[in-house]
Chains A and B, each alone.
Chain A
Amino acid sequence: DAKTTQPTSMDCAEGRAANLPCNHSTISGNEYVYWYRQIHSQGPQYIIHGLKNNETNEMASLIITEDRKSSTLILPHATLRDTAVYYCARPGYGQNFVFGPGTRLSVLP
Chain B
Amino acid sequence: DAMVIQNPRYQVTQFGKPVTLSCSQTLNHNVMYWYQQKSSQAPKLLFHYYDKDFNNEADTPDNFQSRRPNTSFCFLDIRSPGLGDAAMYLCATSRASRSTDTQYFGPGTRLTVL
Contacts and interface: CB of A to CB of B under 8 A. Distances in A.
Contact of A34 (B45, B102, B106): B102
Interface stretch (A10-18, A60-68, A87-95): A87-95
A38 to B, nearest CB: 8
Nearest to A43: B105
A106 to B, nearest CB: 15
B100 A97 contact: no
B11 interface: no
Interface residues of B, number: 28
Interface in B60-114: 88, 90, 92, 94, 97, 99-100, 102-108, 110
B8 interface: no
Interface in A72-109: 87, 91-92, 94-102
B21 interface: no
B100 A42 contact: no
B108 A42 contact: yes
Contacts of B88: 41
Contacts of A46: 102-105
Given A95-B31, A100-B42, A43 B57 contact: no
Nearest to A4: B42
Contacts of A55: none
Contacts of A97: 33, 45, 92, 99, 103
Contact of B43 (A31, A92, A95, A99): A99
A41 B110 contact: yes
A102 B102 contact: no
A1 B90 CA distance: 18
25 contacts: A32-B100, A36-B105, A41-B88, A41-B110, A42-B107, A43-B90, A43-B92, A43-B106, A43-B108, A44-B90, A45-B105, A46-B103, A46-B105, A49-B100, A51-B100, A87-B42, A94-B55, A95-B55, A95-B99, A97-B45, A97-B92, A98-B45, A99-B43, A99-B44, A100-B42
Interface of A: 1, 31-32, 34, 36, 41-46, 49, 51, 87, 91-92, 94-102
